Each structure stands twice: as structure tokens, then as C-alpha cells.
Structure 1
Amino acid sequence: MKRTVKDQSGAGKLKIGELLSKAGYITATQFEEAKAIQKKTGERLGRILLESGAIERDTIANFLSRMHNYPLVVIDQEAPSREALDLVPYETAKRFMAFPLRLAGNTLQVTMAEPTDSLDVEQLQDVVQKSLNVCVSTAKDIIDAYKKYYQISDEEYHSFFKFEPEGEEDTVTQVDDFGALVSDAAEDFEIESSGADEGAYEQFSASDAPIIKLVNGILVKAVQEGVSDIHIEPFEKTMQVRYRKDGSLFKSMNLPLTIKNAMAARMKILAGLNITERRVPQDGRIKIRLGRNKAVDFRVSTLPLLHGEGIVLRILDKSSLNVDLTKLGFTVDTFAALKRCLQRPQGLLLVTGPTGSGKTVTLYSALNSLNTEDIKILTAEDPVEFNFKGINQVNVNAEVGMTFAAALKAFLRQDPDIIMVGEIRDIETAEIAMKAAMTGHLVFSTLHTNDSPATVSRMVDIGIPSYILASSLTMVLSQRLGRRLCQKCKIPAEYDRHTLLSAGFKESELDDLKLFKAKGCPECNGLGYRGRVGFFELMEVTEAVAEAIQAEVSEEQLRKVAIQEGMYTLREAGLQKAREGVTSLEEVLKRTVAHEDSLPAYLVNPDVEEYEDGDVIIQEGNKDKDFFKLIRGKVAVLRSGKKIAEITEPGEYFGEMAAILEEPRSASIISVGRCTIKRYPGDKLNELIEKYPEVSRHLFRTLVERLQKTDRIVVQLASATKIRPPQVIRQA
């Protein structure tokens, strides 16, 4: 194949550094220093110059476009073709810092960060076996395109912005200088006694002051930066300290490996652990006080690793704990359902999700909202993470027989109104929780399941009969935590229609849909995210859901029934946060799963209508076919102006006969007082029956009961008047 590299200016004969130097964009000294670093690391010269501050992010692209006639491409405005993306896999694109745009015959249009490197261009041409039409884009633009079109991970994406030259040792923080981490705000820093052997402190002499200062600094820095976990990990050459913030880990520092034993010993002393035992894991707790009013607990876990003991500390900072239900991120409908469940006098309320999904905060928030002087609350936790005034909290200790089940048995003799058990792990705990929920107590607990319908299956698998579960379960709240977009730097995001539809958005909303993505700024440390927000899926156990549970339907069938009863799935909750600009679509896709066989929009989000007293909902003689479901209030059925019946049960359907028989309305239905109803399209009734029988089952059960009741009334009237029963009259 003949090579035809489109070099618009002949600039490809020179490296980008030489071009910038000759044009006066960088000094000769900056050029030589960058070349020296490149020789050591093999990194691209453009990136070295950018990281050193010698040039701006868009300098190279603008320079080559203006001075050397390379077409400047903004990739977001030039949607790539699928055949071009298929031709150039991600690893190839990354190798040459290039991005494919479109394929026309035997020519591939490609944009590059440094298209003047003729060797790169020729090698790329050899790989794709096509002639190249070369353009230029900023490196940031190309990296953003990798994330959007190749869907690289967040970790991979951020690796482009971390300049850590290969071949050089990781920078090691000097212990003697670490005291600077303890700011003026922490001058009153104090570690409270842990109950450890006081003699152990004597092992730290004056020469060990830097280790004490180091540990104090790590703890204080983590609290000040709003970190949730500290990871201290010894490796072959250094000891790494990482912080977890907003659900993601990032490296804070590297420390000399020589201090690993001293540091582990100091941590163990503070946590009240055995400093001589390095062969088995240990758990403990550290309490510190910052100033007069701020106290912070650390839950400490040690683990023997290949190169020493790894230590993880979970930070329990009550001052940063948000236990206000209204601020957790619930949608209006989900929050209303949650309040209904919390106001019930008894029942089991389960919160589910993986570790780190915010279950504890949700439970504490719910309990806090119910914590009044006339309510007694007992909790069994492993361990108690935060203390609350007015709540009686118990630490579970399996070693002495104080298990969750044992605590629950004792609770039932303590005259509680509300019980919280940290987790249902076995049949014994589950059975006692069920007993408590069925005997006048509100019981809260957690499970590790993927979503709300799966929780029912898990409870049945544990050994709880479905009929007991159906009668005692009040709700299941499944949740995830997604990162909040930084409101200072978020930018609009564009996606192709296939991606949006696959994610779960509706075709009708795509034209007006506005989504945002992360960019990065000093306010968010370049991550593009600050804080987290909850995605919630609340399955309220209504009559229809309870029937489905008792019938032991599949998870998918139960999900459909719950959705029809008003449940928003985790995916839909996440998409709503994306619509509001709170989070990105990438976060939603990362944290939630779409269910392919989902219900249609007319069942998931039917029209909700409010009627005042006397308003006509159905007019006798009309030919419309819609049917309805009563949510609140009651309605009257009238024939020829005379009242013949009332519908009062929430969840009862009416108006379906016109669609089934394809006849005009046989009666009028009006509101009695104020009422709320849901309207469903009658022309979809046949589809509902054929495709979603588990949803339509409740509709027809209501219909059959109504017909049976009507038949009984007619028979009674006939018997009383001793005449032949007239033809049964059915409602509208």
C-alpha cells in the first residue's frame, strides 16, 4: 500500500518542542529541561511542557492550527463514526494520543495531540492500513473523547492527569516535616485514653516523637479533608497512605518503609490492640478530640500483608453526619411513600445495598425523625458507630454470646416501640425480627442485596415463609451513592440517542434533554465531583405487592407489580438526578442496572388527576375507553342520576368495562369530596392483559369481586320481591 501522510505544512519534519522553541512559545532552557525529562521517562514532550507550566492546555493545538494549517477539531462537535471507532481500538488510540473521526473510502480522518511527530503518524498508518487525513485537537479534548466513546474507567481517565515519571522513585514524605499537616485549628488535638496498657506508651521515647507527630497528622488531615476512610499499606519499597473521599480512593503520600513497624505499633496502642501480635487481624477504636467541641472516632482494622501490617481506619465524625431525611436526596414521591411507612404502628422496614452505600445514615435519619420523648427506641449494632440522645444502643459481641438474635430477644422484654437491628444474617435473627414486627413493633434492619425485589427472595431463602413475609413486611428501601457533580465546573454533555435510550431515557424527552459531565477545577481537586447523593428505590408493600410476595412470583414479576404500584427503580432514580444536573450519566450507569423488560411509560408514570367534590370523572353514555385507579378519597357510581354504589378502597380500579366490552359508558362516576386517581389509556388494556398478566391480575380480581357483589345484591332483591332476577348490571 502506498503511504500518503497528509502533512499540511511539512511541520512533521520537526518535533513539537522544536517548533514551539523556534516560534518563541517556550525558552531554550524550558525546551532542554523538557527533553531531559523525556529522555528519562519516555513521556510526550507536549505533556511535559504542560505539566511544567511552560505552555497552556490549548497552546499546541492553536499553534499548529494557526501556524501550520492543521485543521483544529473540537471532537464534541464532530461525532465520530462507528466504523472509525471500530478500526482504531482504544489501546492504539492511547499509544499515539489520537482519536479516529470518520472513514471515507480508504482514508481515515484522525485527530492527534501532536501530529507533527511524523514517526507516530507513519506508525499509526501502518497499524490501521489506511491513508490518514490528520487534524489536531487539545490533549484534554482527546482524553474526554476516550471516556465518552471508549468508555474508559474513571481511574484510567484520571491517570492521564497524574504526571508521575516512570523510573523515578515515588516521592517520600519526610517524617520530620509532617507536623505541618496539623493546622492551627488543631492545636488542641488530644487523643483520649483507649484503655490500652499504659506501659505500652513507655515504648515510645523522645526519639519517637516524629512517629507520634506523623500519626496525629494523618488523622487530623483526614478529618479536615472530609475523608471517610484511611488506608495505610506497606509495599516492597514504600508505605502508601491513601484516603477515600466521595467513594473514591486517592493517594495522599508515600512514607519510608523503615517506619512501618513503629507506625503500626503507634496505631495499635491508640486503638487498644496487642502490639506484639502481627499474625492475625485485630479490630479496635481510637477517639480524638479537636478543640473543645469536636470529637471524632476511628474504627481501626489491621491485616497481616506480605510486606507488613495493613491498617484501615473508618472515620466516624458525628459533626459531619447528616441525619435529616429531607436532605438525603429522595424524590418527592419516594419521600412521601417513606413517610407513610414510617408512620405505621408496626412492621418490618428493610434498607438494602452494598457496603458503603449509606444504609447506616439512612437508618439513623429514620430513627432520628421518630425519636421523641414518648417513643422508646432500642438498637443492636456491630459496632455502635454514633451515639444519639434518647436512643438506647447496644454493641453486639458474638464472643460473649451477645449476637443480634440474643439482643432482639432481650429487646422484646424491654417494652420498646421501635427496634433497629444492624443486619439480618441468619434465620434466628430473621424469625425474631418478624415476630417483633407482627406484635406491635416497628422494626428496622439491613440486608446486602442488589435491589428491593431481590430482598424478598433473600428473606425467603433465609427461611421466612412467604405468607409471613407478606403480612409483616412494610417496605424495602434499596439505595446507592453516586458522586455529585462539582457545580463550579460541570459542563454540558452530549450523547448519541442509542446511549441515552439504552440508559433508560424515553424517546420523547431526548430532544429537550440536558445532561452534564465532570470537568475538574481547583474547587474539586480536578476530579469534577464534590460530595455524594443517594439513588433510592422504595418498594412499599401495598395489597398488590403483598399478594405477589405471598404467591412467590419471580423477582422480575414482583418488580413489575411494585413499579405499577408507584416504585421508582434505582436506575430511574439515578436518571432523575442526571436530569437535574446533580450527577453525571457515567455515575448513574456505574452505580445502577437497567432492567430490559421494564414496564411501559403508561404504567410506570400514568396521569395523576385531582378532583373536587361533584366533579365528573366518567360520563354515562360517553364512548371514551380510559380506566382508572383510586389513590385517595372515594367516588360514587350513578345511573340515570341515581347513586347505585361507592368505590372507597385505595388501589381499586374502575371504568374498565367500557374498554373490555367496547361499549359506551353504562354509568357515571363522580368524586365524593376530594379524591386523587390515576388514569390509564383504555386502548392499551389488551396489551396490558397479554404482556403484563402479573400487573393486570389485581385489576381483574377487583372486577370479579365487584361482579360477585352485584350478583349477590340482585339475588337478594329478587328473593325479597319474589320476582325473577333481572339481568346483572355491571358498572362503567
Structure 2
Amino acid sequence: MSPAKRFGDMLVEEGLISLSKLDEALKIQRSTGKRLGEVMQDMEILVQDQILDILSKQLDVPKIDLFEEPVDREIASTIDPELIQRHKAIPVRIENDEMIVAMVDPLNLMAIDDIRLATGYEVRTRICSEQALDRIYQDLFGVSHEAKKHLEDWKKIQMKEGNTLRDALKSASSLSEIEDAPIVRFVEAILEGAVDQKASDIHLEPKEDKMLVRYRVDGLLHKVMDVPRSAMAAVIARLKILAGLDTSERRRPQDGRIDLKVRSRAFDIRFSTLPTLYGEKVVMRLLDKSKIQFTLEQLGFEEDELVVWRELLEHPHGIIYLTGPTGSGKSTTLIASLATVARDTINVVTVEDPIEYQLPTINQVQVNRKVDFSFTQALRTIVRQDPDVIMVGETRDDETAELAMNAALTGHLVFSTLHTNDAAGGFIRLHNMGIERFLITASVLAMVAQRLVRVLCRNCKTPYEPSDPEMDILKPYLPLIEGRSPQKIKLYKARGCEMCHNLGYSGRLAIFEILPMSQTVREMFMSDAPIQSLKRQARKEGMNTLFESGLRKVFKGITSLEELFRVSSASEDIDSMTDGVGAEGFKRVKPLLEELPEELVSGII
């Protein structure tokens, strides 16, 4: 029997990679210790399906798609979940008195023997991806399964003894007994499940007959499970204990923090309650302390946008505003920018509410309303602390705005945020606060609007040719992809696979609209020019709108047109198009938008 061909050689034979790329991947593998297939995924040479196809041929083991061939819950439950996790192997079904088992490593003889002993069946293996197996495991035995088990345990104890959570905690004889309480373990399962699914927020929402648990993943909420209303008070009480809050106060909102450690990863959880019709609603924001190091390149800047942004950061004084709604990534961009400018020879000070990311290279100040320590009071003190760079978490009123601008005029580089729809709207927002135009034009370096778009899963994104209505909308923007004719335009849409939890997207990137304060923009703003005139001038000077910035990612296959329409709009560009061919092309855009499917453009026009 001839020895099996090596994985890398088979990839070259199949024409999937070149020898030079294989050599490059092998060098990375030797230095990192990762599997070769994993390295090639990181390099974006191959996707998971291609790797599994080659492994299936190499090992002579059939491939299985765990989403196409659903796992029988009853069959999977015949072995201990711990065994599934340890061996990365899960029973799928019984076929001809044999157990079909999906395995990441189908040559693991110890795993095969353990499953045979545990079930009494002969085992037939199928190769699957680790991501798919982990996803199925979460669905079958993860947060919902584990949490429900703890809830059942709690209900049995409650029915037997009539105890509340407070009673159980008081009667516990040791810390380990408290930690083993079913409600405590249920709360842990909810928190750990959010970490496993890479959720940014957890929502606990009281309803008339239950409590709904939802996770926010990549900007969108997804239902996790329903909790019986009888357990709601105990769950919220446990969370309040962790956050150091008053468990008896249910009529007023409360805010707190929870420190969480999950598998050696530390998380800072911002905890907030809100009294509603059916009880207290809880929202928790998860911040991974191990992932606070961001670079500007990782945020989503296009090359030309990054050049402009870096030039702004090099200014010795002036103020830069980031604008956008809550959750648009402003804090992340600010922290990455501060990390870029911070060095041993300068003093960087921030005032925040709350402090989301802790950086050792800067001095961070927390607003505290309980002692009447506001943004304004903090800023007054900071300017006496010999700062070089100042970051004000949010400009909420005219007093804070004037103090920040005066700091910018007296030799400091200042960053802050505003809530406006686009960059030009930031100037109008400041003026509406009561700030004089001359102060705005003298101090502001730039207004930068941003949004977050979900990134298409690179393993399952599906190419397609734009429809005629889509093509008519895209035509005015074709200069963004110079060198391609309209006939060669290819877009991508979400499909869903095991790697992206069947969502079609994985991760998010920012899109930007950078409006520097040029001499012409300054003069126009001083003369009370309309906002669309400001945008028109900025476009003449090279500014890309949010929609244009997003389209560049659409044309590159990074995100979908549907996702871009979710966060931005072509119709917002119509009035700011410059004279000429672009403007003529855009006369048709608004009615064409109306021809697109409703789910694609809902809320745009």
C-alpha cells in the first residue's frame, strides 16, 4: 500500500495553491505550530470547504456537512458531552446498526474506542470541520442546554423547599455550596455562552409570562432562550449581587460592573437595569480585556482614508470629532488613534463615561455623576495637568464643547464625539448648541462620520451578478473600481455556514466619511452655507461619503450591498453629487431604489 500523499502536495496537484504559497505557509506553520490548513485560512489562500475536500481525499474518509445532515439529539446524547469536547467527535445517526460519527480527526483511534465502549455500536467515521462541530455542540449542549438543566435543578429545589435565592445564599454553609447553586450556575452558563458566541451584549427582557434572553452578535440581536418567569427574580438578583447593586431596589434604574473570567480571558461587564411593565430589563455590555490592542489598519480604513487620518493625527493642536450613533465604533477608533499618538514624551489624558478600554500608556479619568464630577469639571482640571493630547468621551453640551475648543486653540490635540448622521452635520450640531461659528472654524480640524458593517464570511460568501436596478444605482460609483467594466462587476451576498454560525457574516469593519476643515469649507460655513453645499464642496475636495466608503468594501467582496443599505444610503448622496455626469446619473437613483426588494432597502428612503 503506497503511503498517503502529503496534504500540501495534494493542494498543489489540485491547483489550489502554488509552490511558493505552500513554502510560505509551511514557514508560518513551523514558527506558529498551527495546522497547515489553519495557516492557509489565515492567509486567505483557502476556505474551510476546500481544506475538508482535500483531507477527505487524503485520509479516504467521507466528508460531512453538519448543517446539511442534522445531528440526531437523542443519538448525540448517548455519550457524555465531555467526551465530545475532548475528542472533537459527535455521533450523528445510526445506519445499518453502525454509528456514524463526525470527527475533526477521523484517525483518532482512542476516540473511536471510547465511543464504541460508551455506546456498544461499531463506529463509521466522517470528517468535519472543528468550527462546525463546536457550533453543533453549542446548539445541543451549550448555553441553552446547560442553562435549562440548571433551571430545572433550581425549580426542583424551590418546589421542595420553597426557598428564594436569598434564602439559599443565607443557608449555604460554604462558598463552594453557594457557587454550586443551580441559579448561580445558570447565570454562569448565560455569561459563558455569550463569550463563546462572541456577543458584545446580553439582553434579559421581561415579558408577561417569561424572560427572553438575547445576545447581540456583530451588531444584531439573536434569541438564545426563554426563561420561566418564576426564575426571573432569582436570575436578576444573582446578577445584581455580582455587580454590587441593591437587590431590593426594583423601581429605579441601576448601573454596575461585573468582573468575569472565562477560560483565562478577563472580561469587564457593564451592567444596567431598567424598570419596565413586566419587571426589570437587564443589559450587559461585554468588554474583552485581552483584546484592547487595536491598530488603525484593523479598523477598516481604505488606504487613502488612512493617509488622511494619519495626517490629522500628526497635527500638534486642534480638535477632531468622530460622529455617529451609539454602537458605531467611535470609542474603538478613538482608542486606536490614542494608542498611535501616545509615546513616552507626551501626556495623554482622557475623560470617559464609562472607561471602556483600559490602556497603560494613557491617563484615563472616569466621570462620576454621584459626586457631581462631570465632563466639564474633568476637562477644566485636565487642562491644568499639562496635557499634550486630550480625549473627551462625548460632547454633550455647549460648555463642554467650548472648553474642548479652547483647549484645542491653546496648543492641545483634542478628540471628542458627537451624535450626527454624517460628517457635515457635525458642524451644524455644534452651532445649534450655541457655539459661535468663528470658534468652530478656528478649532476644528475635521469631522469624521463612521458606521460598522458586518464582514461577509469568507468561507461561504456567494458571488452574483448585480440586477439591473442595482446596476443602475452602482453606475455613478464605478470610478471607485477603476479598471473594471460594468459587465465585470461581481458582488457577494451572505449564505451561512458552520464557520459563521450560519449567519453569513463574521466580524465587523468601519466605513468612514472624513471631512477636513479646508479653507473653502471654513469660508462656506462662516457664510451660513447649507449642509448639502458643504458636502458638495467636500466631495469636490476628495471626500468619500459613508455610502461610497462602504461601496468600496462591497466591490472588494468584504461586505454585501444589503448590509451597506442597512447602515447607510445611496439616497443620502443625491443632493451632494457634484455637477456633471455623476449628478445626471443620480437623477434616476431614488426611483430605482424603490424597485429593489423591500427587505434590501427597508428604511432607506
TM range (shorter): 0.5 to 0.7
Q: Which whole-Å deviations, capped at 9, do the CAs of 1:560-618 have from their partners, x for residues lacking one?
A: 1111112110000011000000000011111112221333498999xxxxxxxxxxxxx
Larger of the two Rg values belongs to structure: 1
Q: Which whole-Å deviations, capped at 9, do the CAs of 1:10-36 have from their partners, x for residues lacking one?
A: xxxxxxxxxxxxxxxxxxxxxxxxxxx
Tell me which of 499, 502, 522 is aligned to 1:523: 499
Tell me which of 225, 234, 244 is aligned to 1:262: 234
TM-superposed CA distance for 1:549, in Å, is: 2.2
Residue of structure 2 in register with 1:43 after alignment: none
The share of aligned pairs that are identical, in percent, is 43
Moved over 4 A (4+): 50-54, 171-176, 198-201, 203-208, 600-605
Does the 8 A contact of 2:398 with 2:435 survive in 1? yes
Residue of structure 1 in register with 2:455 after alignment: 484
Residue of structure 1 in register with 2:209 after alignment: 237
Distance 1:504 1:363 in 2: 34
Does the 8 A contact of 2:292 with 2:358 survive in 1? no
- Secondary structure at the aligned position of 1:545 is classed as helix
- Secondary structure at the aligned position of 2:575 is classed as coil
Instruction: Judge which range, 559-568 or 541-550, deviates more.
Output: 541-550
Residue 519 of structure 2 corresponds to residue 543 of structure 1: yes
- Secondary structure at the aligned position of 2:211 is classed as strand
Q: Which whole-Å deviations, capped at 9, do the CAs of 1:656-690 have from their partners, x for residues lacking one?
A: xxxxxxxxxxxxxxxxxxxxxxxxxxxx9xxxxxx
Residue 559 of structure 2 corresponds to residue 587 of structure 1: no
Tell me which of 593, 596, 599 is aligned to 2:574: 596
CA RMSD of aligned residues (A): 2.8
Does the 8 A contact of 1:564 with 1:603 survive in 2? no
The count of aligned residue pairs is 423
TM-superposed CA distance for 1:333, in Å, is: 1.1
Distance 1:199 1:321 in 2: 40
TM-score in terms of structure 2 length: 0.66
Residue of structure 1 in register with 2:551 after alignment: 575
Does the 8 A contact of 2:146 with 2:189 survive in 1? no
C-alpha spacing 1:176/1:592, structure 2 compared with 1 (3 Å): closer
Q: Which whole-Å deviations, capped at 9, do the CAs of 1:184-207 have from their partners, x for residues lacking one?
A: xxxxxxxxxxxxxx9996477758
Residue 340 of structure 2 corresponds to residue 362 of structure 1: no
C-alpha spacing 1:563/1:278, structure 2 compared with 1 (3 Å): same
TM-superposed CA distance for 1:232, in Å, is: 1.0
Residue of structure 2 in register with 1:22 after alignment: none
Does the 8 A contact of 2:477 with 2:548 survive in 1? no
Does the 8 A contact of 2:476 with 2:582 survive in 1? no
TM-score in terms of structure 1 length: 0.55
Does the 8 A contact of 1:501 with 1:507 survive in 2? no
Tell me which amino acid in the other structure corresponds to 1:450.
N
Does the 8 A contact of 2:202 with 2:214 survive in 1? yes
C-alpha spacing 1:601/1:259, structure 2 compared with 1 (3 Å): same
Residue of structure 2 in register with 1:150 after alignment: none
Tell me which amino acid in the other structure corresponds to 1:236.
E
Tell me which of 317, 320, 326 is aligned to 2:288: 317
Q: Which whole-Å deviations, capped at 9, do the CAs of 1:165-201 have from their partners, x for residues lacking one?
A: xxxxxx9857573599xxxxxxxxxxxxxxxxx9996
Residue of structure 2 in register with 1:298 after alignment: 269
- Secondary structure at the aligned position of 1:537 is classed as strand
Tell me which of 286, 289, 298 is aligned to 1:327: 298
TM-superposed CA distance for 1:224, in Å, is: 2.4
- Secondary structure at the aligned position of 1:273 is classed as coil
C-alpha spacing 1:204/1:505, structure 2 compared with 1 (3 Å): farther
Does the 8 A contact of 2:150 with 2:183 survive in 1? no
Residue 356 of structure 2 corresponds to residue 378 of structure 1: no
C-alpha spacing 1:244/1:456, structure 2 compared with 1 (3 Å): same
Residue of structure 2 in register with 1:220 after alignment: 192
Does the 8 A contact of 1:563 with 1:604 survive in 2? no
Tell me which of 203, 225, 246 is aligned to 2:218: 246
Distance 2:337 2:478 in 1: 37
The answer to which structure, 1 or 2, has the higher relative contact order (CA under 8 A, 6+ apart) is 2
C-alpha spacing 1:374/1:200, structure 2 compared with 1 (3 Å): farther
Tell me which amino acid in the other structure corresponds to 1:268.
K
- Secondary structure at the aligned position of 1:588 is classed as helix
Does the 8 A contact of 2:214 with 2:223 survive in 1? yes
Alignment of structure 1 residues 153-172 onto 2, 5 Å: none
Distance 1:523 1:449 in 2: 35
Structure 1 unmatched ranges of 5 or more: 1-49, 55-170, 181-197, 606-683, 685-732
Q: Which whole-Å deviations, capped at 9, do the CAs of 1:694-720 have from their partners, x for residues lacking one?
A: xxxxxxxxxxxxxxxxxxxxxxxxxxx
Does the 8 A contact of 1:173 with 1:255 survive in 2? no
TM-superposed CA distance for 1:429, in Å, is: 0.3
Does the 8 A contact of 2:257 with 2:269 survive in 1? yes
Does the 8 A contact of 2:465 with 2:489 survive in 1? no
Residue 358 of structure 2 corresponds to residue 387 of structure 1: yes
Distance 1:515 1:298 in 2: 38
Distance 1:291 1:227 in 2: 16
Distance 1:496 1:603 in 2: 22
C-alpha spacing 1:580/1:371, structure 2 compared with 1 (3 Å): same
TM-superposed CA distance for 1:210, in Å, is: 0.4
Tell me which of 459, 470, 480 is aligned to 2:441: 470
- Secondary structure at the aligned position of 1:544 is classed as helix
TM-superposed CA distance for 1:503, in Å, is: 5.1
Tell me which amino acid in the other structure corresponds to 2:524.
A
TM-superposed CA distance for 1:322, in Å, is: 4.9
Does the 8 A contact of 1:229 with 1:312 survive in 2? yes
Tell me which of 292, 317, 336 is aligned to 2:307: 336
TM-superposed CA distance for 1:355, in Å, is: 0.7
TM-superposed CA distance for 1:256, in Å, is: 2.1
TM-superposed CA distance for 1:234, in Å, is: 2.2
Tell me which amino acid in the other structure corresponds to 2:436.
P
TM-superposed CA distance for 1:450, in Å, is: 0.2
Instruction: Judge which range, 540-549 or 263-272, deviates more.
Output: 540-549
C-alpha spacing 1:291/1:297, structure 2 compared with 1 (3 Å): same
Instruction: Judge which range, 328-337 or 303-312, deviates more.
Output: 303-312
- Secondary structure at the aligned position of 1:597 is classed as helix
- Secondary structure at the aligned position of 1:390 is classed as coil
- Secondary structure at the aligned position of 1:596 is classed as helix
Alignment of structure 1 residues 371-520 onto 2, 5 Å: 371-502=342-473, 505-506=476-477, 509-520=485-496
C-alpha spacing 1:175/1:566, structure 2 compared with 1 (3 Å): closer
More helix by proportion, 1 or 2?
A: 2
Distance 1:504 1:217 in 2: 50
